[in-house]
Amino acid sequence: MSASVDHFSPDKNKLNKIAEDILKPVGFSKSFMLWMGFLTMVFLICGYAYGIQLEKGLIVTGMRDFVSWGMYIANFVFFVAVSLVGMLISAVLGLIGYKWIKPIARIAEIVAVGFAMVAGLVIVVDMGRPDRVHHVFLYGRVQSPILWDVTVITTYMTISILLYFLPLIPDLAIAKGRMNNAPKWLVNLYEILSLKWNHSSKQFKILMKSMRILLILVVPTAFGIHTVTSWLFAATSRSGWDSTIFGPYFLTGAFVAGTAAVVILMFFYRNSFKLEKYLTDDHFDKMGKLLVLTALVYLYFNINEYLVPALKMKRVDALHLHALFAGHHAFLFWATQLGGLIIPMILMMFKPFRKPGVLTFLAVCVLIGAWFKRYIIVIPTMEHPNLPIQGVPEAFMVYSPTVIEVAVTLMTFVMSLMIITILSKVFPIIPIWEMAEEASHEGDAEASKTESLPAE
Amino acid sequence: MKNAYILAILFAFAVLSVQAQKSNWEVPADKAERLSPATFTPENVKSGETIYNANCVSCHGNPGQKNFVPLNPEPGDPADAKFSMNLDGELLYKIQEGRGAMPSFKATLSTSQVWDVIAFIRTFHKDYAQEVAAEVIRSGLSGGKVAIQLVYNEAKHTIDALVTEVKPEEVKAISGADVKLFAKRYFGEAAIDEVKATNNDGKVSFSAPSDLPGDTAGNIELILKLVDEEAFGEVAQSAVLPVGKPTITHSLIEKRAMWGTVQKAPLWILFMYSGGVLAAWSVIFFIFFQLRQIYMAGKKDEETGVVREEI
């Protein structure tokens, strides 16, 4: 959103049309009920799996003495990564002044909120004694990256919620008077959350100032959240994690994953919510270019992260690198690097591959690749401790996730999807007032052009 | 000249390594023929097993199970022919002297303890029949018992010993007897100074080391042994004397450190963390306050009846 507006006087007709388009999908439709019913069912089944884990402990997972971080931690890193896109789109691109991100910014914030909220829970499912989670605050040590992680995730989540909510306030006020068929509770909710917004320039001034502050604050916080997550690994001396570039490596990877997630959601909203006019081919084209850019930067960090140790082949690193390049994890490694990064990136460099459908397909490849990439970062290192493993059961040496682990991981995705679904059905997903303002400006620009003609 | 040094060093290494690889472990004839002064009893075997498990099992494994550590040269299983072919005296010599990776146990185990170990090992050798020393060794004593007094002379920084033979009717100085001084360490005993003979008054003086770490008060347990076990038997006297340097250890969690609890966290990290949290959250609370301002502005307009254009 642009930070320059202090007065809101849109073209009435255009506003009405935009509000009508964007508010149409709001509300609990039949398909929403079906979809939520499906999600709830999956959630209950997976919740049952978590119940088993709660009762019997982490022994029901594939984690043992040596591989004590498994799919859950990989999944946690993925969730944190995806949530970072809110910062990239709203803050980095927004502060630079790109106007095309306006209809996408709220989608990016929904992704940020949905994934950041669940990221904390993903950590809790990795705990053997979740009933002691408050001990982190009681006995947490400020020297430990784990406490920093808890702190910074909470902070980022709060800022993301605010960044989602603040630009929503004028929309809620606009929507209030137009929700004729909406249930009473929704109207009441809008009434409360719109905070007596009346489009006065005083309110706009406060809103703009707050947004500007938040957009600046979210940049270091987002950098902090994923850098600290990377330090959970890089603060140890284990091969594969003992790296000085882990912070930027994680950050750039996060932008790739998050951008892909936003593209997928954009495609869904465009088709299901009939928003082709607002999420245009041009938006997909630009998001495709953004994905290429982030993928290129990430590829650069990948080359550094793997090539430099591979050239040196220190003895402790060699075991780990061989497992990735040609050993036990080779398939997954090359599949994520090629199928999840390099090939989609090269394809997206060409315009036909940035069309909505194709781009979404490639984004799905990238997102799946991104998830498995986290798996590749976490597990192989765990399988090669610095001291040799001797005389332990086979299950201790090689990790493979159990059905329960997969189910619980699926549960976290379902939770995230539920949050995203509810947010996108309860509130408009495209900023009405910003679009209306934009449209009015276009009108003004045209008008001023015609006006200025005689003077030439 | 430099090359000559290098050549000499290489040559020395070559000779040493050839010697180390020699499979024959030559034991001097007089030592090889040495026999235990007494017949091995089940008590000897039992004590030998305990000593074996404490000192030998880590490399040689359990006798008969061939689970020794795969080193080069391999330590071998004491139940094997390689061991059983040795005479008692040869085993005693090899255990006491050591070679290469096999440590010397002279300072760690007494001669009778080594005999116990041999008694234990011999239970695994089927065809072994013990020979006992035939002649009783001439005693250096004339019917009395050896008494040793150890004192620390702080002025001269020496450890003085008085070795006497105590009989009911008299106390006689033992002169010309070789004695050795040890300090008790975690593993075995460390020799101090060199072997010295007592003078005519039965006295002997060792120069005390100046850098030997003792306990917090600088106390060290010292042991004086008579070298000629055949003449005097196994005689050793220990005494705790303040000859060492006091060792004052500091707890690693005494001061603020990265590994301490949060109460003992380094100040810089405490400030950075709390500073960061405070900065971020004060901004967040400021935003909450701003939201309230928006609400208040709207409410005020409502109350004052300012009618805005319906949007």
HEC string of A258-284 equals HHHHHHHHHHHHHHHCCCCCCCCHHHH
**Who among B281, B290, B311 is closest to A155 (CB)?**
B281
- Residue B108 pLDDT: 78
Looking at the fold, whether B101 and B160 belong to one and the same domain comes out as no
Q: Say whether B294 and A203 touch across the interface (CB within 8 A).
A: yes
Among A190, A210, A219, A433, most B C-beta atoms within 10 A, so best to mutate, is A210
- Report ipTM for this prediction: 0.90
**Who among B269, B287, B298 is closest to A210 (CB)?**
B287
User: Does B246 fall in a domain?
Assistant: no
Q: Say whether B280 and A217 touch across the interface (CB within 8 A).
A: yes
Looking at the fold, whether B117 and B154 belong to one and the same domain comes out as no
User: Does B247 fall in a domain?
Assistant: no
Q: Which helix (H) or strand (E) holds B232?
A: helix B229-232
Looking at the fold, whether B151 and B229 belong to one and the same domain comes out as yes
Residue B181 φ/ψ, nearest 5 degrees: -110, 135
- Residue A179 pLDDT: 81
DSSP string, B102-161: B---TTTS-HHHHHHHHHHHHTT-TT----B--SPPPPSSSSSEEEEEEEEETTTTEEEE
**Who among A8, A10, A202 is closest to B297 (CB)?**
A202
* Cβ contacts of B160-168, under 8 Å, gap ≥ 24: B160/B203, B160/B204, B160/B205, B160/B206, B161/B198, B161/B203, B161/B204, B161/B205, B161/B206, B161/B224, B162/B201, B162/B202, B162/B203, B163/B198, B163/B202, B163/B203, B163/B204, B163/B224, B163/B226, B164/B202, B165/B141, B167/B142, B167/B143
Upper half-sphere CA count for residue B36 (Cβ side, 13 Å): 21
Query: Domain coordinates of chain A in residue numbers?
Result: 19-381+395-432
Looking at the fold, whether B84 and B11 belong to one and the same domain comes out as yes
- Residue B70 pLDDT: 84
**Inter-chain contacts counted by CB atoms under 8 A, chains A and B:** 90
Give contacts of B 199-258 with A, CB under 8 A: 258
- Residue A2 pLDDT: 44
> What CA–CA distance (Å, rounded) separates A110 from A425?
12
Q: Say whether B259 and A143 touch across the interface (CB within 8 A).
A: yes
Of A353, A156, A171, the closest CA to residue A258 belongs to A156
Q: Say whether B260 and A143 touch across the interface (CB within 8 A).
A: yes
Of B147, B152, B30, B148, the closest CA to residue B92 belongs to B30
Closest chain B CA to residue A174? B311
Q: Say whether A142 and B265 touch across the interface (CB within 8 A).
A: yes
* Cβ contacts of B5-11, under 8 Å, gap ≥ 24: none
User: Does B181 fall in a domain?
Assistant: yes
Q: Domain count of chain B?
A: 3
- Residue B27 pLDDT: 87
Looking at the fold, whether B186 and B232 belong to one and the same domain comes out as yes
Closest chain B CA to residue A211? B287
Q: Provide, as residue numbers in chain B, all residues whose Cβ is less than 8 Å from the Cβ of A224.
A: 276
Q: Say whether A210 and B260 touch across the interface (CB within 8 A).
A: no
Residue B103, domain CATH: 1.10.760.10
- Residue B101 pLDDT: 83
- Residue B71 pLDDT: 83
Contact A89, A104 (CB under 8 A): yes
Enumerate residue ranges in chain B where pLDDT < 50: 22
Q: Say whether B280 and A155 touch across the interface (CB within 8 A).
A: yes
- Residue A1 pLDDT: 45
Looking at the fold, whether B233 and B288 belong to one and the same domain comes out as no
- Residue A196 pLDDT: 92
Contact A421, A84 (CB under 8 A): no
- B31: tokens are 């030592």
Looking at the fold, whether B7 and B118 belong to one and the same domain comes out as yes
User: Does B100 fall in a domain?
Assistant: yes
Q: Say whether B311 and A140 touch across the interface (CB within 8 A).
A: no
- Residue A137 pLDDT: 85
Per-residue pLDDT tens, chain A, 456 aa: give them. Answer: 444 455 677 888 889 999 999 999 998 889 999 999 999 999 999 999 999 999 999 999 999 988 999 999 999 999 999 999 989 998 999 999 899 999 999 999 999 999 999 998 999 999 999 999 999 888 889 999 999 999 999 999 999 999 999 999 999 999 988 887 788 899 999 999 999 998 999 999 999 999 999 999 999 999 999 999 999 999 998 989 999 999 999 999 999 999 999 999 999 999 999 999 999 999 999 999 999 999 999 999 999 999 999 999 998 889 999 999 999 999 999 999 999 999 999 999 999 999 999 999 999 999 999 999 999 999 999 988 887 777 788 778 889 999 999 999 999 999 999 999 999 999 999 999 999 988 887 766 555 554 444 443
Q: Say whether B262 and A209 touch across the interface (CB within 8 A).
A: no
* CB-based contact, B261 to chain A, within 8 Å: yes
Q: Which range of residues forms the domain containing residue B151?
A: 145-241
Looking at the fold, whether B59 and B23 belong to one and the same domain comes out as yes
Q: Which helix (H) or strand (E) holds B190?
A: strand B189-197
Looking at the fold, whether B70 and B165 belong to one and the same domain comes out as no
Q: Provide, as residue numbers in chain A, all residues whose Cβ is less than 8 Å from the Cβ of B256.
A: none
- A247: tokens are 């912070």
- Say if strands B220-226 and B158-166 run parallel, antiparallel, or are unpaired: unpaired
- B45: tokens are 């075997």
Closest chain B CA to residue A141? B262
- Say if strands B236-241 and B158-166 run parallel, antiparallel, or are unpaired: unpaired
Q: Under CATH, domain A19-381+395-432 is a member of which superfamily?
A: Formate dehydrogenase/DMSO reductase domain (1.20.1630.10)
**Helix residue ranges, H only, A235-355:** 246-272, 281-312, 315-325, 330-334, 343-348
Among A142, A225, A228, A432, most B C-beta atoms within 10 A, so best to mutate, is A142
Rama region for A367: left / alpha / beta (φ>0; ψ in -120 to 50; rest): alpha
